[in-house]
Chains A and B, each alone.
Chain A
Amino acid sequence: MNEMDNKWIGKNTIRPDGADKVTGRAEYGADTIMPGMIWGKVLRSPYPHATIKSINTKKAEELDGVFSVATSSDCVDFPVDTPVILGIQDIRWMARNVLAKEKVLFHGHPIAAVAAMTEEIAEKACELIEVDYDVHPWAIEIDDAIKPDAPILHDFIKFDGKPSNIAGTLEHKKGNIEEGFKDADIIIEKEFETAAVHQGYLETHACLVSVSPDDRTTIWSSSQGQFMVRAMTSFITGIPQSSIRAIPAEIGGGFGGKTIVYLEPVATILSKKSGRPVKMVMTREEVMRASGPTSGSKSKVKIGAKNNGKITAAQGTFYLQAGAFPGAPIRGAAGCCLAPYDIPNAHTFGYDVVSNRSKVAAYRAPGAPIGAYAVECVLDEVAEALNMCPLEFRLKNAAKEGTKAVHGPTYPVMGYVETLEACLSHPHYKAPLKKLQGRGYASGFWFNAGGESSAQVNITEDGNVVVTTGHPDIGGSRASIANITAELLGIDVNRVSVLIGDTATIGFSNLTGGSRVLFASALVVTESTNQVIDILKDRASKIWNIDKEAIEWENGEARPAGDNAGKFKPLTLVELAEQATPTGGPIGAGHQVNTVGAEGGFATHICDVEVDIELGIARVIRYTAAQDVGKAIHPAYVEGQLQGGVVQGIGWALNEEYIYNKDGKLDNPGFLDYRIPVCSDLPMIDTILVEVPNPQHPQGVRGVGEVPIVPPLSAIANAIYDAIGTRFYSLPMSPPKVLEKISD
């Protein structure tokens, strides 16, 4: 498609969800109500680690106003030794995370739930549930979890033949690492730590579930995947997927944290047992204690380079917290950390470490910021030792089309070099700095993803268009799909309405995650729309009585392809819709497929900080993010994704952290002491949209949502070093930590 001719692709069209959101009409997870609805609340573990000897719910059940009580005994039993894989999750763990079974594994772990007339009664009833615990020692930090005499969370998990909290490993190898380091003129090795951080979505988890006497179940909830909600609820409750209809609400942020369920199976059980619709809404404290976060980590990275600036070898070891159940995002750390570079000899190794924290959930490029943080900080030190500009150093070692990546693939056309060049030629690169100000650079990579998507494109009787897809819109997919559909059909974008179907109204679509949605849904929408155009041509051929092949579709109308085809006045979409019934019936087409051809995304960031050395406060004063976005279908949304990712990275780098007290309990379960950046903490985040289209996609789309959180951690650390000459190896770089290190 010739870009110059694009009417809608690449334009900042008005977002279809905008009016509803700014006028308060949009329905989020907690907004749905039903007649006869009752409220569910969760009883949570007061201990970080204990065996559940017994649960007695009798007193709770007898309380006035209580309708039903749920425990793990109401769930399908998944034996601990048999994996039940669903996507990247294991239902064995998911079921036990939703309602604890043999053990409670973190403070705040759900044990039971009550449905009652009011939330207050449900809460009171929770207090009446008697749980007999056998309390165990606990391990919160990685070092405590992997030491020889550590308390073991899951006896059946073995590492080196012994019970262990190391639940899994992953490694990538390329070339010969020993030879590579032998070839190096300079080798730098450093250790790093990062704190667990939460996705910080504004909307807390919420759902309303109604189960009919015949088990037909309707779920209204806010999630990143209505099909994920349906499948997980089906597994855990035993109700077949065909009987469950999951209706997605608008979503008030997810960032990966809503790719799993917490409440829906519980509310389903409570509704089934009570015969009433059950609503559940988490408090912020519950969200902080028992949902999300992403892993805290410790890592060691070693990089060797020749004096000419060529990297000869790189090695990284990453320990990531999984929380209470296996599944730390070690693939993101070990797989993405060296992806921007052409390194002949490399070895990365990741450890999945369970400990008595809440189970981690996906968070924007899961694991990748942790890996990149360590690697990009060491690269900064290597560049300094070689007396090279950090960007020129990266350019010298940049991966290109044809490079064999450490994590496996050989790269097709990709735009990493272009992001470096864009930064080098940006005014920010040469802008003067004042005293105590510094500039840092870092790059990052995310795999991106394809996967299953379904779409239906229907022409309405009045000749307009309704497009339905199957993934919650968390980053602008509706606006982008409208642009694409309008472009393909050659009609005004306002004639296209884009909706998110529920599990009963659209075919299976994998969840919104991995930066996959626009890539995948644009593919199925394009195919569906092309089928619709084909039908429209067919209808015109019937009206004109000429061959379909002699008809072309242009600017929203069917035209004879040339003079030989005959002289007919073009038929518009509206005219063809009017004649739909006599020409063959409703006009529409759907497509569903497992999409392939997603390609990774690369970014390079420039960050300026200013450090108040008396108070230890580092403030980001200027930020520029360059990213290969493939093709920006809706540039304002793409820019918003880059800015949002950077902001979350700034929070991660400077102030956000899960702080545990001596009793193994989270000490800052709220937005006062869990410090997400506020607007006044941030400069305007400049973006450079580098467009190297993905050749395997009709519009050239690459995922854009996750890459931008990968570079900020190290870009900020490197900038602080540039400002004050002190390197920090531990996140967050919060004021007390910074001041203590400066004062030393």
Chain B
Amino acid sequence: MKKKQLLLFLRTLNARAYVRIFGQMREATWVVASVLGGFFTMTTYVYLYRTLGTGSEFSGLVVLGGFMTPFFLNVLWGVATQLYWEKEMGNLELMLVSPAPLSAFLVGLSVGGAMHTMLRSLAVLFFGIAVFKVRFAVLHLPLALLVFLVTLFSMYGLGIVFSSLFLYHGRDAWRTADLVMEPTNVLSGTYFPARFLGVGLLGIAALIPTTLGLDALRQLLVPSFTVKVLDWRWELLILAGLGLVFALIASWALRSVEYKARRDARLTLRWQ
């Protein structure tokens, strides 16, 4: 990549990330509502576990799941569906005639999305710790941060892969995202240890980066957590591998789907 191209990529990334970070802060109700929504979901599962009479360590698992859920939702609705929404609002054609690469828009969207979601996730985590008196081990905090960042890299890579599909498809892809959102969230072990899924379902769930990422985080932050899927080191390696694979697929898919969408005149096709 030439210096000029790299500069353009970085400028585009910065511009898109800026809008995502600061635009989302302008309306206080958005932040409050998303934090409250995450908190209520977490509360539901904490009390459910209390009803079931499981150990207190399950509250810690649920709080960590609640911390990761906003990222999962941001990947699905803020990255994967974004090109679809840009198309519906009429911005996509402007983006495509500009010299800025489409991939830079999406990477910027991911970086900005991850940063603004971080604030909400930290708020959910804070409330979870404060209200449910959950304690985490901080001995491995730097390693946990590394696992978290690799998980985000992998998750947002998957989001960019799906954004290509959304670029070509319309309401059918949106409906599909709506359909798979809850089952995917459940299968990734957000609110229970993923090992209980059994080998078959776990094999599918492992393709969702949140599954192994959460399992590794639980091993590092919840000392009494014993029902792990794999050792966290292996999970970190798999997540890094998944992230790279998703990045490669995303780069290829974006080019080929953009070409196909141009050829089939679907880039400006709205409300379909």
A and B found bound together: no
By a beta-carbon cutoff of 8 Å, the part of chain B in contact with chain A is: none
By a beta-carbon cutoff of 8 Å, the part of chain A in contact with chain B is: none
